[in-house]
Amino acid sequence: MSLPAPGLSAMTPAKTWRFWLVGLILGLWGLQVLWLFWHFGPEAADLARRAAGGSLGNAIRQEEPLYRWATTLQGIIPGSAAYVFLDDYAAGKEIEVRYYLAPRRHILLSPEAPASFLFYALHQEHAGFLLIRESKKPLGPGALAAMHSPAFLPVNLPGPGLIFRVDASRLGWGFYD
């Protein structure tokens, strides 16, 4: 029996078993990587094309319905106009809409605001538009009153919210609950 070369040890059954286990795990990992390349290949090619063209950020934003809605609102709401946005503060969507609609004046109110306060804010701020973001919660009394008031004209724009053009001449003074 010959001795192994210096620095090398003979393969014992325990080392052979570990060698095959590591080989099996690496082989399965390699198969998983190949499957991922096959599965996400079309999307990866599209992502690489967008990255090469420099339109990666725009493409991602275009898939967000709130972004498309807000950019469409940019063409509807004049830059000098004010708007009231009914949204729950926790969602954070109000900040995105405010960013896209800058420099327009932005007044944020809770969707649960009473009708008298909503109408007062619209009148005092000379707001020309009312934006109501869709929520899982039911609309408050102010939003419901606005939807049924002749002073609010709905704007037909698909998206994650409702838009109303405010006719200030139909908003009377002295709002009471």
Q: Is residue 57 pLDDT above 70, yes or no?
A: no
* Structural domain contains residue 175: no
Q: Final residue of a domain: which of 58, 76, 93?
A: 58
Q: Is residue 6 pLDDT above 80, yes or no?
A: no
Can you give the chain as a three-state secondary structure string?
CCCCCCCCCCCCHHHHHHHHHHHHHHHHHHHHHHHHHHHHHHHHHHHHHHHHHCCHHHHHHHCCHHHHHHHHHHHHCCCCCEEEEECCHHHCHHHHHHHHHCCCEEEEECCCCCHHHHHHHHHHCCCCEEEEECCCCCCCHHHHHHHHCCCEEEECCCCCEEEEEECHHHCCCCCCC
Peptide bond into 138 cis (omega under 30): no
Q: What is the band of 2 on the pLDDT scale with cuts at 50, 70, 90?
A: low
Count how many domains the chain has: 2
Are residues 75 and 49 part of one domain? no
Please give the residue range of the domain that contains residue 39. 13-58
| pLDDT tens for each residue of 126-137 | 999 999 988 778
Q: Is residue 60 pLDDT above 60, yes or no?
A: yes
* pLDDT at residue 58 in the model: 65
Does pTM surpass 0.75? Answer: no
Q: What is the mean pLDDT of residues 141-160?
A: 90
By residue count, the chain amounts to 177
* Structural domain contains residue 127: yes
Are residues 80 and 144 part of one domain? yes
| pLDDT tens for each residue of 161-176 | 899 999 987 876 665 5
Q: CB-based contacts of 98: which residues, under 8 Å, 6+ apart?
A: 85, 106, 108
Are residues 96 and 35 part of one domain? no
Residue with tokens 């049924």: 148
* pLDDT at residue 66 in the model: 83
Burial class (CB in 10 A: 0-12, 13-18, 19+), 32: exposed
* pLDDT at residue 131 in the model: 93
Q: Which residue would you say has higher pLDDT here, 64 or 118? A: 118
The strand order across the sheet containing 152-155 reads 105-109, 82-86, 129-133, 161-166, 152-155
Q: What is the mean pLDDT of residues 146-154?
A: 91
Q: Is residue 17 pLDDT above 70, yes or no?
A: yes
* Structural domain contains residue 26: yes
